[in-house]
Every structure is written in C-alpha cells, then in structure tokens.
C-alpha cells in the first residue's frame, strides 16, 4: 500500500489536527438516520432500537419462589428452638397450589412457582428436617426470604430497553419475556468502500515485482460486518481519473458513507484528491497520530466520506478510532466513552515527541494477579500480524517519548477480537 510515513511525521506537522479535534469535527458533521423498520425479534440482533421498549406487564407477573423449599407465613417462623409444620401440598411452576395456607402450615414449593395464598416466605429445602408429612424448621429463618415479588424487576409501563441500544442476546431475551415478537429498529447505515491503486491485485493471482494483494478490503469487510451495516464493495479502482470519479459517484448515490483506502493523502500523485475537490468537501486531510496520519474526512455529495491510509495497520487503527464511532452515531446508537485503563507496562516503549501514538499491546495478568500490558513488538504500520496478536492499544500522548518497564501507561482495550 502507499506509504503513510513522511519525514515530517517524526515531529509536529502543522497541517495535522489532533485526534480530539478530528473526532469533534466528525461527530458534528453527522446527522443520525431516523428511518424506522419493524423486524422480527430474531432479526433485531445487532440492530439499534428505535424507540423505548416499555413493559406491558409486571416482571415477574406474580410473586414466586426464588428457591426450592417450603412456603410459610413469616409470622409463624420460630423465634427460638424449632417448630413443626404439616405439608399441605405442593406448588410447581405453571401449576400453583390451590388452597389457603393457615397458621403453622406450609406448602412444598419449586423455584418460580406462585407463592400460595397466605404465605410470604420460603425456607430452602436444605434447611428443614423432614418428619413424615411434616417438616421441622429451626430458629434463624427470616420473614420474606427467598421470594421474588411481582413487578420486582419491571413494573407495567417501565422502560425495559431504552432507545439507542444495540440489541444483544440479553435484550432479545428480555423482549421475548415481555411478549414482543417484533421490534422497531433504525435502518442500517449503507457503506460503500473501495481500494485504490494500480499495485493492488486480487487474491489468487500471481504477484509481479511491486504488486500487493489487496488486504484492506478484507479487514474493512470484517470490521463493517461487525458493525452490522449494509455493505457495498466496489472492489479495487485503478489510478484512472474517470474510473475514480465514477466510483465516487456510484458510491455516493447508494450509500450513507463512502470509505476508501490509500490514494487520498495530500501530495500523492493520484486522482482521488482531484476528484474530491470536484465532488466533495473535505474537512481535514491529516491527523496527528501514528499510525494513521493521512486520514481524510468530509462529504461526497450527500454521503459522509472517510479516506483511510493505505497501510494495513493504519486502516484498522483509523477505522476503530474514528469510523466506528461515526457509524454508531449515524446508526442512532447511544454514545459511550471507550473504556481506558492505567496499567504498568512490561515492555520498554519507544516513541518520538510530536504526535500521539496508538501502539499495539497485549493486556494480561502477571504472576501477582495484576493487569499489565506488553508490546506486540515492532510497531510498523505495515505489520498486520501485530494487530492479530493485540487486544488493546497503548496510548502514548503527543509529548511522550515512550515508557520504561514498570511505568504506568494508558491503554484502550479492543471491544472485539481483531
């Protein structure tokens, strides 16, 4: 891929903006999608909930037992010694006890079964002594123990799942427990992407000197699929002015966002920048980070545009740091600040002052059970294997010159395996 390093990258580049400035410009430029679709509950997995999902029933819908045991009246529990209770019958989940429990009586009850009339406490089966058709309960049991009350989890009318949540397994289970067969979700963002460069060749062909396999479209495919968007893969576009212009027009006409890799950095002798000058409005061309300095963002016609660097690691870093939050906002997902931790490094980390670095690291537990981070090794932006080993970024600030073994550093764990 085209190189993402220039001599100026060793220090401050006046043409670059900070990562925070880039994020601010990106977020301010995005208008979330508001089109709502109603889909089956299974099809909603990974989608963004469009409206608050309110419970139509109490959850649980009846007061029930939290344990297998015996339902009794709390006032009858012994304050000293023990007491014998005759067992009147049994209450099972889906088959409640039909009758009234009186003083000093009990009912055998299973987990989830409706509490019999008159009872308010459950003594677990391991804490009673069976005596024929009766049980003996020792002093020490408490009134109200091991009971789940109607509406304890959710009351009818409560918000069960707020709008803007990306629906996962627990959300689907909760929605199903409330009786919802369909859910309202935001339309998926449509993302068109292509690579640019005469040196790029498809997998399965024989490489000549100077040619490369186009790996970036595969990492982009995987990361975009993980985000649950609609993909439009336009392949590899050659360094031809008409071809590039047509690719941008096609992409912008059918997608909410257009992503390219390689060919969009200032100073490159290619047609991407020329095309963008005619069809688009670019907000910035460089970000003061490593890897990933030649990152561009703006619009192509009515579509958002990201011009990612050409080097494989730079593509992944810039996607995770900038494109992923943008897609979440575009999809209407509630924003959450990425988790960051301060841990000690087990590796010496090298860096030059001038721009922030996102080095690939491995979070683990040391022999004392402490969370620590190790470097994946060489941090070149073309070393894609380092991403396959990593589970976090070690974030070294602009003015940092690295860190020695044992020093505290800030890390951002990946939210999925790369």
DSSP 10: G
Look at residue 9 in the predicted model and tell me its pLDDT: 40
* Residue 13 pLDDT: 64
CA distance 69 to 71: 7
C-alpha to C-alpha distance for 8 and 148, rounded to whole angstroms: 65
Please tell me whether residue 40 adopts helix, strand or coil conformation.
strand
- Which two tokens mark 337? 């600040």
Q: What is the pLDDT of residue 310?
A: 86
Mean pLDDT taken over the chain: 90
- Please write the tens of the pLDDT for every residue from 240-299: 888 899 999 999 999 999 999 875 555 444 577 788 888 889 999 899 999 988 899 999
> With pLDDT > 70 as the criterion, what percentage of the chain qualifies?
94
CATH topology of domain 36-59+152-186: Molybdopterin biosynthesis moea protein, domain 2 (3.90.105)
Quick: pLDDT tens for 101-145.
Answer: 999 999 999 999 999 999 999 999 999 999 999 999 999 999 999
| pTM of the full structure | 0.83
User: Residue 290: which of 12, 2, 1 has the closest Cα?
Assistant: 12
Instruction: Find the mean pLDDT for residues 381-388.
Output: 79
Say if residue 236's pLDDT is above 60.
Answer: yes
- Does pLDDT of 375 surpass 90? yes
pLDDT of residue 270: 58
Residue pair 389/319 in contact by the 8 Å Cβ criterion: no
In this prediction, residue 387 carries a pLDDT of 86
| Tens-place pLDDT, residues 295-322 | 999 999 999 999 999 888 999 999 999 9
Could you write out the three-class secondary structure of 97-142? CCCECCCCCEEEECCCCECCECCCEEEEHHHEEEECCEEEEECCCC
Joined together, the tokens standing for residue 79 give 């304050």
pLDDT digits (tens, 9 = 90+) for 133-177: 999 999 999 999 999 999 998 999 999 999 999 999 999 999 999
String of b and e for 398-409 (b: at least 16 CB within 10 Å)?
A: eebebbeeeeeb
Q: How many CB atoms lie within 10 A of CB 327?
A: 25
Any idea which fold 341-413 has? Beta-clip (2.40.340)
Fold classification of 7-34+188-330 (topology level): Molybdenum Cofactor Biosythetic Enzyme; Chain A (3.40.980)
The answer to whether the 36-59+152-186 and 64-148 domains have the same CATH topology is no
CB neighbours of 88 closer than 8 A, spacing ≥ 6? Answer: 97, 99, 101, 105, 106, 107
| Largest distance between two CA atoms of the chain | 93
pLDDT of residue 206: 86
Name the residue ranges covered by the structural domains of the chain. Answer: 7-34+188-330, 36-59+152-186, 64-148, 341-413
- One DSSP character per residue, 314-367 reads HHHHHIIIIIHHHHHHHTTPPP-PPP-EEEEESS-EE--TTSEEEEEEEEEE-T
CATH architecture of the domain with residue range 64-148: Beta Complex (2.170)
């Amino acid at each position: 891929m085209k190189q993402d390093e220039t001599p100026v990258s060793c220090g401050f580049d006046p043409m670059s903006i900070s990562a925070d400035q880039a994020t601010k410009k990106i977020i301010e430029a995005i208008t979330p999608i508001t089109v709502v679709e109603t889909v089956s509950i299974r099809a909603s997995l990974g989608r963004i909930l469009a409206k608050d999902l309110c419970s139509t029933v109490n959850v649980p819908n009846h007061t029930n037992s939290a344990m297998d045991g015996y339902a009794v009246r709390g006032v009858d529990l012994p304050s000293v010694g023990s007491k014998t209770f005759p067992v009147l019958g049994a209450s099972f989940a889906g088959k409640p006890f039909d009758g009234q429990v009186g003083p000093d009586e009990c009912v055998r009850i299973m987990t989830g079964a409706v509490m019999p009339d008159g009872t308010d406490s459950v003594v677990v089966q391991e804490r009673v002594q069976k005596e024929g058709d009766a049980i003996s309960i020792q002093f020490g049991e408490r009134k109200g123990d091991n009971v789940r009350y109607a509406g304890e989890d959710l009351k009818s009318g409560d918000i069960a799942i707020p709008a803007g949540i990306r629906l996962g397994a627990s959300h689907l289970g909760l929605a199903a427990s409330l009786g919802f067969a369909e859910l309202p979700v935001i339309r998926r963002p449509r993302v068109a992407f292509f690579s640019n460069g005469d040196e790029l060749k498809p997998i399965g062909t024989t490489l000549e000197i100077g040619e490369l396999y186009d790996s970036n479209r595969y990492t982009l495919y995987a990361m975009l699929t993980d985000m649950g968007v609609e993909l439009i893969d336009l392949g590899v576009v050659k360094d031809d002015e008409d071809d590039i212009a047509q690719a941008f027009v096609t992409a912008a006409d059918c997608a909410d966002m257009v992503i390219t890799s390689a060919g969009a950095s200032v100073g490159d002798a290619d047609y991407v920048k020329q095309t963008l000058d005619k069809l688009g409005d670019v907000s910035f061309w460089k970000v003061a980070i490593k890897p990933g300095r030649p990152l561009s963002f703006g619009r192509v016609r009515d579509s958002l545009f990201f011009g990612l660097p050409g080097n494989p690691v730079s593509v992944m870093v810039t996607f995770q740091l900038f494109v992923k939050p943008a897609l979440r906002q575009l999809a209407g997902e509630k924003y959450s600040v990425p988790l960051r931790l301060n841990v000690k490094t087990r590796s010496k980390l090298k860096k030059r002052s001038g721009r922030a670095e996102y080095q690939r690291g491995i979070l683990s537990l040391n022999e004392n059970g402490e969370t620590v981070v190790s470097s994946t090794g060489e941090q070149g932006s073309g070393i894609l294997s380092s991403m396959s080993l990593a589970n976090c970024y070690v974030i070294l600030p602009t003015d940092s010159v690295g860190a020695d073994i044992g020093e505290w550093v800030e890390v951002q764990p990946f939210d999925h395996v790369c």
